[in-house]
């Protein structure tokens, strides 16, 4: 089984809808991250969490919210989806003190029409 | 802030050696990481340099010069499966952030 899993893998939704992307990990890591990737661009950090009680905004948090339900679970929500949130979303984890080495999930391809 | 620059595309032939450069700007330096991403796939960690010099891992090596704010990834004995995007990234120390460059697409030709 994969260490970092994401659901759904693909999602098409309409403008204005609320959508949640979920991430689970079995690596036992404390740190979890959400990134988005647009064609031809690198990954941009949306939110990150050091533990269940510690959640931080990344570079592009506007329009997104997160919830860390447990050490192993970190979900990303789009409260009211808009077309420019169409992107590939990745969840990642890392051990404490080793953010330089992150383990990524397979990604969720989200299309907002 | 932090920023990284890499070439957008590199092409090489199978069996050759290719170097992918990365220059960076940052106020606090905590090392330089490299990731590989095949088309449609997840990024995977390749290497990390905290100190100046060369780190070797099989066919891949990564180099860092902190005085020049510069690093590179060296891929030897290129194989077709090395065709992918390669990203350099700056860890943010205790912030836990990882800031990625825009990536270099490597095309390996027969």
In the three-class reduction of DSSP (H, G, I as helix; E, B as strand; rest coil), residue B102 is classed as coil
CA distance A78 to chain B (A): 21
Using one digit for the tens of pLDDT, what is the confidence trace for B32-47? 999 999 998 999 999 9
State the distance between the two ends of chain A, measured CA to CA, in whole angstroms.
33
Using an 8 Å Cβ cutoff, are A53 and A66 in contact?
Answer: no
A2-18 mean pLDDT: 95
CA atoms within 13 A on the CB side of A20: 8
Test B42 with A43 for CB contact under 8 angstroms: no
CA distance B63 to chain A (A): 15
Q: Which of A58, A41, A47 is nearest to A91 (CA)?
A: A47
DSSP helix, strand, coil percent of chain A (3-state; round to 5): 5, 55, 40
Give B43's DSSP letter.
-
Using an 8 Å Cβ cutoff, are A109 and A8 in contact?
Answer: no
Which segment of A31-35, A101-105, B67-71, B93-97 scores lowest on mean pLDDT? Answer: B93-97
Of B8, B42, B92, the CB nearest to A99: B92
Is residue A92 over pLDDT 70?
yes
Test B97 with A48 for CB contact under 8 angstroms: yes
């Amino acid at each position: 089984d994969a260490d970092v899993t994401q659901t759904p893998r693909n999602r098409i939704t309409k403008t204005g809808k609320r959508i949640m992307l979920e991430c689970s990990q079995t690596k036992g890591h404390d740190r979890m991250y959400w990134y988005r990737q647009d064609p031809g661009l690198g990954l941009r950090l949306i939110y990150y969490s050091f533990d269940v009680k510690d959640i931080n905004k990344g570079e592009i948090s506007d329009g997104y919210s997160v919830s860390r339900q447990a050490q192993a679970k970190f979900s990303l929500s789009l409260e009211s989806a808009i077309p420019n949130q169409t992107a590939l979303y990745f969840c990642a984890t890392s051990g404490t003190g080793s953010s330089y080495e992150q383990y990524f999930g397979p990604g969720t391809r989200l299309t907002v029409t | 802030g932090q920023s990284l620059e890499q070439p957008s595309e590199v092409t090489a032939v199978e069996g050759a050696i290719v170097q992918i450069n990365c220059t960076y700007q940052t106020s606090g330096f905590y090392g330089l990481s490299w990731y590989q991403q095949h088309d449609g796939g997840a990024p995977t960690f390749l290497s990390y340099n905290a100190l100046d010099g060369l780190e070797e891992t099989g066919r891949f090596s990564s180099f860092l010069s902190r005085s020049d704010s510069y690093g590179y990834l060296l891929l030897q004995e290129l194989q077709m499966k090395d065709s992918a995007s390669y990203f350099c990234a700056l860890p943010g120390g205790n912030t836990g952030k990882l800031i990625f460059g825009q990536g270099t697409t490597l095309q390996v030709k027969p």
